Amino acid sequence: MTTMIQNNRARLNLAKASHNLKTAQLYELAIKNGEAQLSDRGALVTNTGKHTGRSANDKFIVKDAETETKVNWGKINKPISIEAFARIRDEVLDYLSTKELHVQDTIAGADPKNCVYVEIITETAFHGLFARNMLSSLNTNSAVLSYGEDVIDAYKAEYSVYHAPHYQLDPSKETELNSGTAILVNYSTKEVVIVGTEYAGEIKKSVFSLLNYLYPQRGIMPMHCSANASEHGEVSIFFGLSGTGKTTLSADPERKLIGDDEHGWSDEGVFNFEDGCYAKSIALTPRSEPEIYAASCRFGATIENVVMNDKRELDYFDKSITENGRVSYPIHFIPNSLFGRFVRKQPKNIIMLTCDAFGVLPAVSKLSPEEASEHFMLGYTAKIPGTEMGVTEPKAVFSPCFGAPFMPLAPKVYGDLLKDRISHAKVNCWLVNTGWAGGKFGEGKRMPLSLTRSIIHRINNGSLAQVKMVKHPILGLEVPESIDSPETQWRDQAEYKKAAESLMTLFKEQQD
């Protein structure tokens, strides 16, 4: 534990705080304090106010001697001075010192040799429960069984997250800020300050950002992905931005779920960063997502920004608060989840998912290590009309590493790590289009989920890697001869060629 963290713990008088309260205790306090309500099915429900998603414009990284040459500074990784951080942290600590605090001692990263000790210090019981769900809390049986008693007994907080959701800063006094909300990361002093937002996702993504900075320096590839494994430990990794089917396609009843969002890839294998899941709840039904729906109905789940009526019934189709309603729950709520969240084997397949709304990309393509690295660096998908104000035509979206908002280092660092690991482990790599064929959105048809599931099944059982591949004449991708390419479904081949060349131009511009 750093001297800075020790001093701040004393300043907060954490001896009087509640430590590692269990789920029932946090429920009682959250309801008693008016932070949340109980749903008819047993979940703890809250409304996070004006912030129903991440506050990307309010996230900053401290620029100092350590980070100046390491961090990929720009619109995403915005700098804040050492002095401004210290003032804001001290102001937040002064505020928190007057509150009844809840501490969760947690472990991030399911690899016992590379796990990181993170204490979450918050003013709300609700967020204490969220931290307990999403990270491995020290006083749970799963933590002891996953890490072993030596790791548990050695616990001393390496990183501290100071969480003050109900406090607002004065941006007129702190001119380096954009508003009264701030998410500040100091890699050198190992501190995170979250202030002015009740959206719980800021906690998990801040920890993700910490590991994304730390792990590459240990030779570990951090990944914004889902992952599952066969009964024999054959791992498939699913990269993909929101709306591409990452969560849906990795939740396979025939395979074990390692995790749905954040993982590491080390010399020993693939491991989950978290001990929980944080799923979107919009249009959630027992039919569409049976496992996630069942998890959302259990005691211990937390739910954000979903409309609840007087009978305490939740309406997952009501968008009046937001489309970004969220449910958090321990991963063991998913029946086929992998206990321990760590497969000590190199992955067999990497599947990059894209929702191509232009109707150009094949249903599946086999990628070389170099092509896989290129597509990883692109992080391509497309928005469809109606998903965002002003979007009236399909719009290409690029998020390098399939998670640019959470990657503090240069994309090339992660891309080179991925390429090296793919080559060393001889991983089969695939690009799967879950978007449109036969025309762009509004003209063509969405790839049938049954087709995509069949492709994923054939990837996982190894049969697709055995079929003959042919080079696509325009895209240059290797595609299975047995699966129709999208141009076969376009009525006008000249229009397909024009659309394909246009998309390739967008790719080239992004790479340049």
89 is catalytic: no
Active site residue 341: no
β-pair partners for 102: 18, 122
In the set 242, 368, 423, 454, the catalytic residue is 242
Active-site residue among 51, 132, 246, 366? 246
CA 59, 64, 65, 66 dihedral sign is negative
Catalytic residue status for 246: yes
Give Cα 416 distance to the centre of its chain: 21
Which residues share a beta bridge with 509?
A: none
Single out the catalytic residue among 89, 127, 163, 224.
224
Rg over CA atoms, the chain: 23
Closest C-alpha to 101, from 175, 15, 173, 35: 15
9, 204, 205, 348: which one is catalytic? 205
What b-and-e string marks burial along 478-498, b requiring 16 or more CB atoms within 10 Å of the CB? bbbeebebbbeebeeeeebee
Q: Answer yes or no: 395 catalytic.
A: no
- Please pick, among 41, 54, 78, 446, the residue that the annotation labels catalytic: 54
Q: Cα torsion at 238, 215, 343, 260 (round to 10°)? A: -40
* Annotated catalytic residue within 67, 146, 247, 296: 247
Q: Is-contact 87 173, C-beta < 8 A?
A: no
Q: What angle do CA 315, 318, 321 make, to 5 degrees?
A: 110
Residues 6+ away with beta carbon under 8 Å from 320 = 307
* Catalytic site residue from 58, 105, 252, 261: 261
Within 62-215, residue ranges assigned H as helices are: 82-96, 125-134, 141-147, 149-153, 201-214
CA dihedral 257, 260, 262, 266 (to 10 degrees): 20
Q: Catalytic residue at 247?
A: yes
d(CA 38, CA 27): 8
Residue 293's CB: how many other CB atoms inside 10 A?
18
288 is catalytic: no
Q: Do 63 and 79 contact (CB within 8 A), yes or no?
A: yes
Tell me how far apart the alpha carbons of residues 168 and 381 are, in angstroms, rounded to a whole number. 35
Alpha-carbon separation of residue 91 from 7, 125, 242, 419, 427 (angstroms): 15, 21, 36, 44, 49
Query: DSSP letters of 410-432?
Result: -HHHHHHHHHHHHHHHT-EEEEE
Distance between CA atoms of residues 512 and 506, nearest Å: 10
Three-class SS of 250-268: HCCCCCEEEECCEEEECCC
Which of the following is catalytic: 89, 256, 326, 383?
A: 326
**Positions marked catalytic:** 54, 205, 224, 242, 246-247, 261, 326
